[in-house]
């Protein structure tokens, strides 16, 4: 779908007067009723808000669609009037796709049907489904599809960008488990994209982001998975401890996955009060093998001297409970890159640089480190539009800002930290803090980007869908 946290139109658009805009939107208002929200609506600001905010953008309207036919209608109205268009599911994308100034936001969150075909091992999710809801529905059958680590993320958005999470090292990325999709194209056609029908579009959807159409349904492979061993561990940060934690991932089995955050501890009840306001290492961990195997993996981490340990056996859907991410509207910037290959892990010197940088940051900042490897690296880089198959770790540097005026300073800190940690030059499209042409070039190797352009010209030649500020990078000649 262009579904995402998602796309902003960067093709030819038109600025309409309020009167003309009312006329353009009148048919949609007749169809959607109170599900077409304008800035005067009491729930408009809440509905339009994204998880990561920034300089003000106010769309002319938000269309809360419930069916594929309504998607077709709303898309046609925006396209024919030359209105800027954004498409959203979960609203988490850091580059703020899903919000467009003066245009129409196609909000898919009411398009939220889930059908779990346990016999076939396939889950069907409409374009507005969030990861937590899908995981709970699949979990009721003892099944799972791997997404990320946050329940409120849109399944469409995370899938179209790649999908790195708790099951990726064992089962591959979410894109590796996408079997097919229903897509509304810019010209209004509704098509199937899979290995047999529109295979070039299917290739592009698996990592190319929301650049090719509105995905209204995804068909996803399921695996048998009942309980896992997972939860949170926390340590006082030292270079030796951080290096050891990361080495545990590099040397661990494919069933072991998760992420490590180096950050200043927030004043929340789960964290001991004496650590509030101080740097910590916080890891969210998941082992999808047997409990005995998990105990063996976690023993060395516990031996490092945890100050918090909530890891326990639990149903897999419980990993997504209470993991909502930052509060909606929080502002900030981020950069993501990759490190190492194979069983490589950062050394203590790199770990010391990370801890010192976070400790010296003015205001909330974090370094998020996700283990890759395993099944992720077994896929041919040319098989999907997500081509970064060889790295050992993905690293994201982020900093929040209390106000719009503080964003430049946050961006400066983020860029400096990314350079110091050696993660510049390659990026992950789902974690782009900005969406410049260079960001897009970092997200895709040259050959991958060239092929994405070819698919873009075939399916969206007018660039109805495209990352904000990157139409030439993705769809240009």
Mean pLDDT for the chain?
87
Indicate if 259 and 382 belong to the same structural domain.
yes
Of the candidate ranges 56-65, 127-136, 445-454, 468-477, the one whose mean pLDDT is the lowest = 468-477
Whole-number Å distance between alpha carbons of 237 and 186: 50
Calculate the alpha carbon distances from 8 to 69, 276, 303 in Å: 21, 39, 48
Structural domain contains residue 468: no
Residue 150 belongs to what domain range? Answer: 114-224+449-460
Beta-sheet pairing, 214-221 with 178-184? antiparallel
Residues 266 and 329 in one domain: yes
Identify whether residues 248 and 188 lie together within a single domain. Answer: no
The confidence score (pLDDT) of residue 384 equals 97
Q: DSSP class of residue 70?
A: H
Look at residues 44, 77, 107 and tell me which one is the last residue of a structural domain. Answer: 107
Same domain, 76 and 145: no
Q: With bands split at pLDDT 50, 70 and 90, how would you rate the model's confidence at 55? A: low
Percent of the chain with pLDDT over 70: 88
Residue 443 lies in a domain: no
Within 10 Å of residue 381's Cβ, how many Cβ atoms?
14
Give me the mean pLDDT over the 318-324 stretch: 74
> Between residues 138 and 45, which one has the greater pLDDT?
138
Q: Which of 6-10, 142-146, 281-285, 387-391 is predicted with the least confidence, judged by mean pLDDT?
A: 6-10
* 319 in a structural domain: yes
Measured CA to CA, the distance from residue 320 to residue 150 in angstroms comes to: 6
CATH of the domain at 59: 3.30.43.10
Pair (200, 309) in one structural domain: no
Q: What's the pTM value of the predicted model, to 2 decimals? A: 0.90
**pLDDT at 47 > cutoff 90:** no
Whether residues 83 and 200 share a domain: the answer is no
- At 4 the pLDDT is 37
Number of domains forming the structure of the chain: 3
Same domain? For 152 and 181 the reply is yes
Domain boundary residue, one of 107, 123, 149: 107
Reported as type and span, the H/E element at residue 222 is none
Q: Determine, yes or no, domain membership for 207.
A: yes
Site of tokens 């109205």: 77
Tell me whether residue 442 is in a domain: no
- Looking at the fold, whether 160 and 263 belong to one and the same domain comes out as no
Show Cβ contacts of residue 274 under 8 Å, excluding neighbours closer than 6 positions: none
Three-state SS for 43-59 is CHHHHHCCCEECCCCCC
Residue 49 confidence class, pLDDT cut points 50, 70, 90 = confident
Say whether pLDDT at 392 is over 80.
Answer: yes
474 lies in some domain: no
Q: Residue 1: is its pLDDT beyond 70?
A: no
Own/partner contacts of 134-140, CB < 8 Å, gap of 24 or more, are 135/316, 135/317, 135/319, 135/320, 136/317, 136/320, 138/222, 138/317, 139/225, 139/315, 139/316, 139/317, 140/116
**DSSP structure class, residue 33:** G
The CATH number assigned to the domain holding 244 equals 3.40.462.20
| Residue at 466 is within a domain | no
Helix (H, G, I), strand (E, B) or coil at 41: coil
Q: How confident is the model at residue 395 (pLDDT cuts 50, 70, 90)?
A: very high
- Tell me what the mean pLDDT of segment 333-345 comes to: 89
- The pLDDT of residue 350 is 97
Q: Is the pLDDT of residue 74 over 80?
A: yes
**pLDDT bracket for residue 323 (50, 70, 90):** very low
Quote the strand ranges of 70-199, DSSP E: 85-88, 104-107, 114-117, 122-126, 143-144, 178-184, 190-194
Q: Are residues 248 and 346 in the same domain?
A: yes
472 falls within a domain: no
Using 50, 70 and 90 to split pLDDT, how confident is the model at 17? confident
Residues 292 and 391 in one domain: yes
User: Quick check: 60 and 102 in contact, CB under 8 A?
Assistant: yes
What pLDDT is stored for residue 9 in this prediction? 39
264 plus 347 within the same structural domain: yes
Q: Could you tell me if 152 and 164 are in contact, meaning their C-beta atoms sit under 8 angstroms apart?
A: no
CATH for 214: 3.30.465.10
**Residues 244 and 322 both lie in one domain:** yes
Reported confidence tier of residue 374, pLDDT bands at 50, 70, 90: very high
């Amino acid at each position: 779908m262009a579904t995402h946290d998602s796309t902003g139109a960067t093709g030819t658009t038109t600025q309409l007067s309020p009167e003309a805009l009312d006329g353009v939107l009148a048919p949609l208002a007749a169809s959607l009723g109170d599900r077409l929200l304008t800035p005067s609506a009491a729930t408009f600001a809440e509905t339009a808000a994204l998880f990561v905010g920034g300089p003000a953008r106010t769309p002319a309207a938000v269309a809360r669609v419930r069916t594929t036919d309504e998607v077709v209608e709303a898309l046609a109205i925006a396209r024919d009037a030359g209105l800027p268009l954004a498409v959203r599911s979960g609203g988490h994308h850091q580059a703020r796709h899903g919000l467009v100034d003066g245009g129409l936001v196609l909000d898919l969150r009411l398009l939220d049907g889930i059908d779990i075909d346990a016999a076939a091992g396939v889950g069907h999710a409409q374009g507005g489904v969030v990861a937590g809801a899908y995981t709970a529905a699949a979990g009721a059958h003892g099944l799972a599809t791997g997404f990320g680590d946050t329940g409120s993320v849109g399944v469409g958005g995370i899938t179209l960008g790649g999908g790195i999470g708790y099951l990726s090292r064992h089962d591959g990325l979410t894109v590796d488990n996408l079997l097919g999709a229903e897509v509304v194209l810019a010209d209004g056609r509704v098509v199937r994209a899979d290995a047999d029908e529109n295979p070039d579009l299917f290739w592009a959807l698996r990592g190319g982001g929301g650049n090719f159409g509105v995905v209204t349904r995804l068909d996803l492979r399921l695996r048998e998975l009942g309980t896992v061993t997972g939860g949170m561990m926390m340590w006082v940060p030292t270079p030796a401890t951080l290096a050891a934690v990361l080495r545990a991932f590099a040397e661990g089995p494919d069933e072991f996955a998760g992420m490590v955050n180096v950050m200043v501890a927030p004043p929340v009840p789960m964290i001991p009060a004496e650590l509030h306001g101080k740097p910590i290492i916080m890891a969210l961990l998941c082992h999808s093998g047997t409990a005995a195997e998990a105990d063996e993996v976690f023993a060395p981490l516990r031996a490092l001297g945890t100050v918090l340990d909530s890891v326990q056996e639990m149903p897999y859907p419980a990993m997504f409970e209470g993991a909502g991410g930052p509060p909606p509207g929080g502002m900030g910037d981020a950069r993501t890159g990759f490190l190492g290959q194979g069983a490589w892990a950062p050394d203590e010197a790199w770990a010391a640089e990370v801890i010192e940088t976070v400790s010296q940051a003015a205001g909330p900042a974090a370094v998020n480190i996700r283990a890759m490897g395993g099944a992720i690296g077994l896929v041919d880089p040319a098989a999907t539009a997500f081509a970064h198959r060889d790295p050992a770790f993905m690293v994201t540097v982020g900093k929040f800002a209390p106000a719009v005026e503080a964003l430049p300073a946050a961006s400066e800190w983020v860029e400096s930290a990314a350079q110091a940690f050696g993660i510049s030059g390659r990026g992950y499209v789902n974690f782009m803090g900005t969406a410049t042409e260079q960001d897009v070039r970092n997200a895709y190797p040259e050959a991958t980007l060239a092929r994405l352009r070819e698919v873009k010209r075939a399916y969206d030649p007018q660039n109805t869908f495209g990352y904000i500020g990157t139409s030439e990078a993705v769809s240009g000649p």
